[in-house]
Structure 1
Amino acid sequence: MTSWSLEALLADLHSSVTEQLARARRTMGHPVAKGDVAESIWAQLLAGYLPQRYKVAKAFVCDSEGRFSDQLDVVVYDRQYSPLIFEMDNQIIIPAESVYAVFEAKQEIDAAQVGYAAKKIASVRGLKRTSLPVPHIGGSSPPKPLQPIIGGLLTFESTWSPPLGSSLAKALADADDDSRIDIGCVAAHGWFACDDAGCHVINDQGKPATAFLLELIARLQGLATVPMIDIRAYAKWLND
């Protein structure tokens, strides 16, 4: 009888992602088409393996003051407790309170792409998020403090040599709290993570796509649920 192998299962997940990204790079003749396919591959990975409480989409993010973010390639958001998800002309708009994480997906990582992703992430983190007291059978709990929105960058290759060396660390370090990239994956080479202590994890071993996925899930677990959205703050935009 053939025995199961957890090691093989995790390795195969990484191989599937990298093979799809490599195939898109080889066969797609137009840069926009390559980018669209790369976004789709990463979105499918997250949609397929994150718990069902999380949804994944390419989207804009809005707030109750009427401001909108740039469009993000991959937005991980709550659908269990979020009453407002807008769709217009095939464009999805998600209220800021519902967002757990945002990612840019590119073919390659370099200093320009790090800066571009950081700007996109900052456009979401700069939005206002409401948080109401949470009613329960014993009364109510205070408003939940706003959890940090995870920001990331997902690519297949790196233009640097070495791929995850000092050049990457320098590019990632050039950011403030709003624009910081917290986690990312360069599927062909490794993954990285940053926090308040700096970009202390740059890993070029193992199966990067799988390692990134597991680290993202762990970080999402730490965020628990989104805050209770103030619906009336959005209702003020209704015309009489």
Structure 2
Amino acid sequence: MQNQVRQLLVSLQKQLSVTLQSNRETLCHPVAKGDATEDEWLCLLKNHLPNRYQADRAFVIDSEGKLSEQIDIVIYDRQYTPLLYNQNNQIFVPAESVYAILEVKQELDLDKIQYAGKKISSVRNLKRTSAKIVDVGKSVAPRPVTAILGGILTSDSLWNPPFGESFQKAINSLTLSQRVDLGIALLKGSFDVSYTEKNEVQTKIEVGETALLYFFFNLLWRLQRLGTVPAIDYAEYLKVIDELS
């Protein structure tokens, strides 16, 4: 009997591929096409991520009032941290709540990877606070902030081969704060990027009908390794209110 997990996700990949391809062929306006593609990826993540994670198109803001660029998909905590603003589909989330930043594009190429890196960097460079908490009646010191994952989601790749030398050069061109950790070109394959202590880049590629399967479980595995985001220091946000009073 076939592995049911594999069968279900391969079926999901085929369904998503058909929808994204239909959007590319039917929608002529680039903004409409981009919005439709983002909506499909958002729907996938909203329907399949564990409930502890929220996924939305959003801005990220820190306690000093600095703001990221608008992010296609932010995966963030809603269990312990609040939304700072949510009106008319304009969502602002605190920097402390962010687990991952995902940029959505039609195709994978050098410009798209570097653009994704800049968007990821605009969040990673924000200030994130960490507060002490009380656990079983005891005060626990503030934890270090967790790393923020960065990724790119596309339907296809403009490179041939899709993950060859040109892809490797694009990944290597990114700065520390721009690093892309994982991604997918749905019709070609998915990838995972890791960095050694000597800053050497190591990539793992999964092609074929298991590309989405690999990407999704790799994302879950990476989120699991991050644990829970540290407690937000609300006192830092109160300072902003005091300054405005």
1:169/1:199 contact within 8 Å kept: no
Question: Is 1:222 aligned to 2:221, yes or no?
Answer: no
Runs of at least 5 residues in structure 2 that lack an aligned partner in the other structure: none
Q: How far apart are residue 3 of structure 1 and its match? A: 8.7
**Any residues of structure 2 matched to 1:1-240 within 5 Å, and which?**
5-197=4-196, 198-238=201-241, 239-240=244-245
CA distance, structure 2, for counterparts of residue 181 and residue 146 of structure 1: 19
2:82/2:93 contact within 8 Å kept: no
Using a 3 Å threshold, how does the CA distance of structure 1 residues 204 and 66 change in structure 2: closer, same or farther?
Answer: same
- Deviation per CA, 1:112-155: give whole Å up to 9, x if none: 11110000000000001000112112402221211100000000
Q: How far apart are residue 205 of structure 1 and its match? A: 3.8
Amino acid at match of 1:147: T
Secondary structure of the corresponding residue to residue 236 of structure 1: helix
- Deviation per CA, 1:148-182: give whole Å up to 9, x if none: 00000000011111112111111011112200000
TM-score, normalised to structure 2's length?
0.93
TM-score, normalised to structure 1's length?
0.95
Secondary structure of the corresponding residue to residue 31 of structure 2: helix
CA distance, structure 1, for counterparts of residue 101 and residue 2 of structure 2: 38
Q: How far apart are residue 88 of structure 1 and its match? A: 4.1
1:172/1:199 contact within 8 Å kept: no
CA distance, structure 1, for counterparts of residue 126 and residue 2 of structure 2: 50
CA distance, structure 1, for counterparts of residue 234 and residue 166 of structure 2: 44
Secondary structure of the corresponding residue to residue 150 of structure 2: strand
Amino acid at match of 1:237: V
Using a 3 Å threshold, how does the CA distance of structure 1 residues 235 and 89 change in structure 2: closer, same or farther?
Answer: farther
Q: How far apart are residue 6 of structure 1 and its match? A: 3.2
CA distance, structure 2, for counterparts of residue 226 and residue 165 of structure 1: 35
1:78/1:99 contact within 8 Å kept: yes
Amino acid at match of 2:30: P
1:164/1:204 contact within 8 Å kept: no
1:17/1:209 contact within 8 Å kept: no
Which segment is superposed worse, 149-158 or 229-238?
A: 229-238
- Deviation per CA, 1:8-48: give whole Å up to 9, x if none: 21211211221111111111121111100111111111111
1:192/1:199 contact within 8 Å kept: no
Amino acid at match of 1:60: F
2:6/2:213 contact within 8 Å kept: no
- Deviation per CA, 1:187-236: give whole Å up to 9, x if none: 00001111213142122244212211111011111111111001121122
Amino acid at match of 1:47: K
CA distance, structure 2, for counterparts of residue 10 and residue 117 of structure 1: 26
Which structure carries more helix by proportion? 2
May I ask how many residue pairs the two structures share in their alignment?
A: 239
